[in-house]
Amino acid sequence: MRYGPRLFREHSEHPLDPLSDILSLLRPRTAVSAGLRAGGDWAIRFPGHEGVKFNAVIHGACWVSVDGAEPRRIAAGDCFLLTRGRPFRMATDLSLPEVESARIYDRASDGIATFQGGQDFFLVGGRFAFDGDHAGLLFGELPAIVHVSRASDQAAVLRWSLAQLATELAEGAPGSRLMGDHLAQIMLLQVLRLWLSGGRGSGWLAALADPRLGRALRAIHGEPARRWTLADLAAAAGMSRTSFAERFRRVVGRTPFDYLARWRMQLAADRLRRSGDSVATIGYAAGYASEGAFSAAFRRTMGCTPSAYRRGAQPEQSCG
């Protein structure tokens, strides 16, 4: 039985895959694909940035530190995401004086900057911006530096993509920029998969990696407008109602129905900005019987009315 029109079918060909749902909602686009070659000992300071930075070390090693987070040692074959947009630094020795990145990248050739000869270290990567409004829904669940080691299980696809991206940047063959963008997006998704497989952290990403809670999340994403009961979701997870409710709240940090309501509002918010459908139509598609009930729920979750959001108001609170 269906419970109103599916809200999200235009965004994902895989309605039972919450990670694909959320990435599609964010609409990631690669803003920059670039590289860095460096030689000797060095330290480079980078400014704050929009979106998420993805980098992978081809050869050599360095430290990466983000303001407010512990430094991480990154070696050849490792990849990392910088998820907070904060200033950061990369260095062979964190005690060295810094050089501002603009001094190096202003002289970059074909997207690859060279510092001190460039014979000892090579890094490639990109910066992802998002056309959707809710990047915090995904990246708020992750630490400031997401480090994936070359030694990680299931990293073969990542290593293949890494080698291909390095080749595209170095050779500059016809279509290399488009190829680089697609490879960078594959690598972003693979890093997230590897992070999930490690069973780390909390929030909906941790729940997605949990076999039982993951089934309940996939059920919610498959039919977001359905009038779910606790018994329905517990059955999807193969758990008792009490055990399911307690485990979901402990791992995700909110109740199943709070998560459901927030996901519905994320979908509704996207449709408000990107379609001409009426508020009543969008509310019905989200599972609400009246425009008034939907508007009240939207304001409670997003901090503004549907009409104000459509006009460009920003939500007053995180909806992750």
Write the CB contacts of 148 (distance below 8 Å, at least 6 apart in sequence): 78, 79, 80, 155, 158, 191, 194, 195
- Give the three-class secondary structure for 77: coil
Phi and psi at residue 258, to the nearest 5°: -70, -45
Domain boundary among 148, 174, 197: 197
**pLDDT at residue 76 tops 80:** yes
pLDDT value of residue 49: 84
pLDDT value of residue 29: 64
pLDDT value of residue 13: 42
End-to-end CA distance of the chain: 29
pLDDT value of residue 135: 65
**pLDDT at residue 54 tops 50:** yes
Domain count, the chain: 2
- Which CATH number characterizes residue 276's domain? 1.10.10.60
Residue 315 resides in a domain: no
Query: Does residue 31 share a domain with residue 173?
Result: yes
pLDDT value of residue 169: 66
What's the pLDDT tens digit per position in 265-289? 988 998 998 889 999 999 999 989 9
pLDDT value of residue 50: 80
**pLDDT at residue 293 tops 90:** yes
Query: Does residue 281 share a domain with residue 148?
Result: no
- Which of 100-104, 106-110, 154-158 shows the lowest per-residue confidence on average (mean pLDDT)? 154-158
Which residues sit opposite 38 in a β-bridge? 115, 121
What's the pLDDT tens digit per position in 8-32? 444 444 445 777 777 777 666 655 5
pLDDT value of residue 200: 62
Mean pLDDT of 180-184: 71
**128 φψ region: left (φ > 0), alpha (ψ -120 to 50), beta (else):** beta
Separation between Cα atoms, residue 80 and residue 145, nearest integer Å: 7
Phi and psi at residue 313, to the nearest 5°: -65, 145
Residue 117 resides in a domain: yes
Write the CB contacts of 221 (distance below 8 Å, at least 6 apart in sequence): 8, 15, 16, 17, 18, 21, 263
- Which CATH number characterizes residue 101's domain? 2.60.120.280
Residue 248 resides in a domain: yes
- Global pTM value: 0.69
What average pLDDT is seen over the chain? 82
Residue 161 resides in a domain: yes
Domain boundary among 180, 197, 214: 197
pLDDT value of residue 131: 62
Q: How many CB atoms lie within 10 A of CB 276?
A: 8
Nearest CA to 45 out of 84, 99, 115, 95 is that of 99
Residue 16 resides in a domain: no
Query: Does residue 30 share a domain with residue 116?
Result: yes
What's the pLDDT tens digit per position in 128-179? 777 655 666 667 778 889 888 876 655 667 667 767 766 776 677 787 777 7
pLDDT value of residue 163: 72
Mean pLDDT of 218-225: 90
**pLDDT at residue 312 tops 90:** no
Nearest CA to 161 out of 284, 245, 77 is that of 77
Separation between Cα atoms, residue 73 and residue 147, nearest integer Å: 9
Separation between Cα atoms, residue 221 and residue 236, nearest integer Å: 12
Percent of the chain with pLDDT over 90: 41
Residue 15 resides in a domain: no
Q: Count of H helices and E strands in the chain?
A: 13, 11
Domain that holds residue 188: 26-197
Pairing of strands 43-46, 99-100: parallel
**pLDDT at residue 61 tops 90:** yes
44 falls in which pLDDT band (50, 70, 90)? very high
Residue 18 resides in a domain: no
**pLDDT at residue 35 tops 80:** yes
**Of residues 296 and 109, more confidently modeled:** 296
Separation between Cα atoms, residue 237 and residue 227, nearest integer Å: 17
pLDDT value of residue 260: 93
pLDDT value of residue 137: 67
